[in-house]
């Protein structure tokens, strides 16, 4: 998402920086935000439901939480896939 982040970053710092960037996109380049959400594979129905249910909350922070959650899910899936792939013998791999 074109955000410069330091190597060491707490989850809260990540959330704050991501929220600020999303807020900027909401106000100045909404089309780019929509593109990023599509590219990251954020569930549109889940996002709409969350935003509707928590009206009055900071929308950028809610979207940031969804992005972080999705990226963590992707990382977990990749680790599980790599582990499963390592458990297959070389003869059985394509």
Q: What is the pLDDT of residue 85?
A: 63
Its pTM stands at 0.79
57-81 pLDDT per residue, tens? 799 999 999 999 999 999 998 888 8
Q: What is the pLDDT of residue 59?
A: 94
pLDDT band at 16 (very low <50, low <70, confident <90, very high): very high
91 has a pLDDT exceeding 80: no
First to last CA, the chain: 35
37 has a pLDDT exceeding 90: yes
**Of the candidates 15, 14, 11, which has an alpha carbon nearest to the alpha carbon of residue 60?**
15
- Burial class (CB within 10 angstroms; exposed 0-12, middle 13-18, buried 19+) of 72: exposed
As a whole number of angstroms, the distance between CA 34 and CA 31 comes to 5
Helix then strand then coil, % of the chain, to nearest 5: 70, 0, 30
């Amino acid at each position: 998402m074109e955000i410069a982040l330091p190597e060491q970053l707490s989850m809260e710092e990540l959330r704050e920086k991501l929220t600020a960037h999303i807020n900027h996109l909401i106000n100045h380049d909404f089309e780019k935000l929509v593109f990023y959400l599509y590219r990251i594979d954020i569930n549109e129905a889940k996002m709409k439901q969350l935003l509707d249910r928590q009206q009055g909350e900071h929308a950028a922070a809610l979207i940031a939480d969804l992005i972080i959650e999705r990226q963590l899910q992707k990382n977990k899936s990749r680790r599980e896939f790599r582990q499963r792939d390592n458990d297959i013998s070389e003869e059985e791999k394509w």
